[in-house]
Copies of this chain bind each other. A is one copy, B any other.
Amino acid sequence: MAESNTKPKFSIILFSGTADKFLPLGVLSDAAAAMGYEVGIFITGFALLGFTKEKHTLPFSFEFKDMAPMLEQGMKATNTKGWYEMIKEAKEIGDVKVHACSLTAAMFNLKKEDFDPIVDDVVGAASFLQLSEGGQVIFI
């Protein structure tokens, strides 16, 4: 696609592995994809464990864990999809890639085949920085 060169980029580094942080990941990825951004998600740190085939229960932010049920209820009441569905939808409607951090993967002894198919590749931080060059980047 010739036009892809002119798409603005929106990149997200997801490091914090607490469950609550996956909601803004999903919402922002979905919104940016719908707006035509090239979206790059770099999963690293404990957040990597949210993207493995083997399911891990990630802890909710300790300070707000008492409010987790209220948040869940709010998501149901507003028909808000879970983060995984949001990312999948974002990948269908737009240009969204999920990159797993190769260093953290090595630390956790995880290989490409250990990740959910939603993960596109396993790359280093330098590769991710190169992909996100010239665009907006946030660290969650």
Contacts from A to B (Cβ < 8 Å): 8, 10, 13, 15-18, 20-21, 23-24, 27-28, 30-32, 34-35, 37, 44-46, 59-64, 67, 70-71, 74-75, 77-78, 80, 103-104, 106-109, 124-126, 129-130, 132-140
Do B107 and A32 touch (CB < 8 A)?
Answer: no
Closest to A60 in B: B63
Could you say which residues of chain B place their CB within 8 Å of the CB of A103?
Answer: 27, 78, 80
Could you say which residues of chain B place their CB within 8 Å of the CB of A10?
Answer: 129
Could you say which residues of chain B place their CB within 8 Å of the CB of A67?
Answer: 46
Q: List 17 A-B contacts (CB under 8 A).
A: A8-B134, A13-B24, A13-B28, A17-B63, A20-B45, A24-B45, A24-B139, A27-B103, A31-B124, A31-B126, A32-B129, A74-B108, A75-B107, A136-B136, A137-B138, A139-B139, A139-B140
